[in-house]
Structures are given as C-alpha cells and as structure tokens.
Amino acid sequence: GVYWVTKVTKKLQSAKKVTKVPEKSQIFNSLVIKSRKYFCLNFRHVTMGTLQMSSRAPPMVPCASCKLPDCFYSDTKDKLYATLGIITGGTGALLFALDQSVKASDLELHPPKHPWSHKGYFSSLDHASIRRGYEVYKQVCAACHSMKYLAYRNLVGVSHTEVEAKAEAQEIMVKDGPDDQGNYFDRPGKLSDYFPSPYPNEEAARAANNGAYPPDLSLITLARHGGEDYVFALLTGYCDPPAGIVLREGQYYNPYFVGGAISMAQALYNEVLEYSDGTPATASQVAKDVCTFLKWSAEPEHDQRKLMAIKAIMIFSLLLSITYYIKRHKWSVMKSRKLAFIPKPQK
C-alpha cells in the first residue's frame, strides 16, 4: 500500500497537477479499488491489487482503529452476511418443512385444544381415568391395535395393584419354550410379559383390515402432532362425507384424518362397555379415558418428571437463598473497607 501511494505521489509531482503533495489519507480516498483482496495487521491496511486514480470516487469512511477507509472491509462483510443469511434461511425452511410434514393437510381439520387435567405445569395424570382407559383398550382397541412396548408390570402402582396386574397377565396365554425335550408350550402370562399383539405379523394385520395396517398405540400420542387432542378428535370425529367425496368400500369419513378417508370404523359409542367403577360410559367419556391411558403409556415418567421439578424448585430456592446470604457475608468486608495511604515519617 505504501509503495502504491509513493508511486502515485511521484506521478502527480512530475505532471505538476498539484501544487501540494496530498496526504496519504486523501490519496486513499481518491482511489478506486479494482481488486479487494486485503488484510489488516497491527492496525495497518495492506492492499493487494490494482489501484487507479478517479476524480469521482465515492467518499470513504475512515476505519476507527487505523484511520484508513472502511471500504476494504465492506466486501467481506457482505459475503459474510450473505452466507449467514443463506444458512439461517435454509435452516428455517428445513425446520418449517419438517414441522409441516407431521401437521394436518389443507383438507383436514386441526384438532381443538381440550382442558386436560394433566396439562398444568404441576398437574398429574388422572389415575382413575388411566384404569378406565386400560379397560377401553382391553375390550375395544386390542382387537386391532397392539401395544408392544407396554408390559403388565408397568400397570403396578399406576392403575392396578400387583395382585390385580398378575390377574390381568394370567388371562393371556404366552408361547414359551423350548422345554427339556425341545418343545414349545403355552403358559399363563406373567408380569414381565408384554401386551399381546392381535396379529402374528404385519401381513396378517393388513389382510384383516383391507390393506390398512393398524398402528401400534404404545407411543401414539407422541407420534402424532396434537397428541391426545388429535386422538380424541379422531375417535369422536366420524361423520357422513360431504358432497363430492367418494369413499371406497371399507372406508369411512373422518375430517381429522389425512385426506378424510380412513379404514378404521368408528369404534366408540355410548355404552360400548361397562366400567368396573360404574362411571357412565358415554362416547366422550370413553374417548377421554383411553386418551389419558395412551398419554400415560407414551410418557410413563410424566408424574415423576413433574414431581422432580417441584423438588428441584424447592431445593434450588433454598440453595439460592443460602448462596446469596453467604455472598453478602463474605463480600461485606471487601465492600465496606477503606484504603488509606500513610507515608512513613521522615527521620
């Protein structure tokens, strides 16, 4: 940079176009930079490229650190901002596309929000509703849907006692073995056994449901956008198809399902079953109970997580108070001290 400034200054003096040699900063302000490859080292700009004189050069703002024009940085800043903008925009578009992929389409209603009793920050699940929801699954849903990630031992202490859970497990027959002679046998279920599947494999499930595969319900409230609100709306949202929509044989219309055509028939009606505790089994009550049960099956740690949050808030509040008191106590000497300079007496 110094070399080019010296060269331009000599040319101006030889041509006698100026009577006074301009300062270096003025020369820099009158130069048009053809190539903006540069770097800054020890607060001095060193430019690499071709420089030409121009009488109509735009004004340049000096750099605050080394008093040289700031245009050297503009190109790199523009490229940096453009790169950050492209990355941010691409990330946002990707997140938006992933979010839209699990949402309802334009031909589908969005489920309304319901005031569930467990929606509060410190609200637990309704365990009586979980027990009733298990009865709904056992008597209605288990005919088509599996819950392969849920074992009978998970019911203990949540909706059933250990004796009741063992009685529920013994109602099923589990193929076990081999025995000492290498033969397989059927035995009553145990607490360690998982809920049985209604079909031996996926092909059998599709064959029994006109090609549609009934999904596993263990994590269904986490696998669907809207959670239990979506499941409740789907179970209670069956209606006649509007004009212009033709359904194939074995299909039913539900506006909350993608496309509206669903292969699952309406399963919940008024008095579809009798609760063991005598609760009236209306369609909405049955749907609410089974949704609560599915919410618990997807998040069995729900209550423990919120209970741990309450304990953490109490403990950290106490620790924060003690920490603040100790801080004030330790720093009180430092903040209240007075420093004085006492010179030594001259002899």
The number of helices, as runs of H, and strands, as runs of E, in the chain is: 10, 8
**63 in a labelled binding site:** no
Please tell me whether the peptide bond between 178 and the residue prior to it is cis, using omega within 30 degrees of 0: yes
CATH number of 127-150+194-301: 1.10.760.10
pLDDT at residue 86, as a whole number: 94
DSSP conformation letters of 185-216: EEEE--TTSBPPPSSSSHHHHHHHTTT--PPP
Q: Tokens for 36, please give them.
A: 């903006």
- Which of 239, 232, 241 shows the shortest CA–CA distance to 283? 232
pLDDT at residue 2, as a whole number: 52
pLDDT at residue 110, as a whole number: 87
- Which of 197, 203, 261, 255 shows the shortest CA–CA distance to 230? 255
Partner residues linked to 187 by β-bridges: 174
* Spatial CB neighbours of 250, under 8 Å, sequence gap ≥ 6: 210, 263
**53 in a labelled binding site:** no
pLDDT at residue 150, as a whole number: 96
223-258 residues labelled b (16+ CB within 10 A) or e (exposed): ebebbbbbbbbbbbbbeeeeeeeeeeeebbbbbbbe
Q: Tokens for 143, please give them.
A: 């005919």
What are the extents of the domains in the chain?
127-150+194-301
- Which of 300, 292, 250, 264 shows the shortest CA–CA distance to 145? 264
Return the SS3 of 245. Answer: coil
Q: Which helix (H) or strand (E) holds 319?
A: helix 302-336
> Model pTM?
0.67
**141 in a labelled binding site:** yes
Return the SS3 of 309. Answer: helix
pLDDT tens, position by position, for the chain (347 residues)? 555 556 656 655 665 444 444 444 444 444 434 333 333 433 334 333 333 433 444 444 444 444 445 454 567 888 888 999 999 999 999 988 887 776 655 556 889 999 999 999 999 999 999 999 999 999 999 999 999 999 999 999 999 999 999 999 999 999 998 888 889 999 999 999 999 999 999 999 999 998 999 999 999 999 999 999 999 999 999 999 998 888 998 899 999 998 889 999 999 999 999 999 999 999 999 999 999 999 999 999 999 999 999 999 999 999 999 999 999 999 998 888 888 888 888 87
**264 in a labelled binding site:** yes
pLDDT at residue 201, as a whole number: 93
* Spatial CB neighbours of 196, under 8 Å, sequence gap ≥ 6: 146, 172, 174, 189
For residues 226 and 221, what is the distance between their CA atoms, to the nearest angstrom? 8
pLDDT at residue 106, as a whole number: 54
Phi-psi label, residue 318: left if phi above 0, alpha if psi -120 to 50, beta otherwise: alpha
Contact 252, 266 (CB under 8 A): yes
Q: How many CB atoms lie within 10 A of CB 215?
A: 15
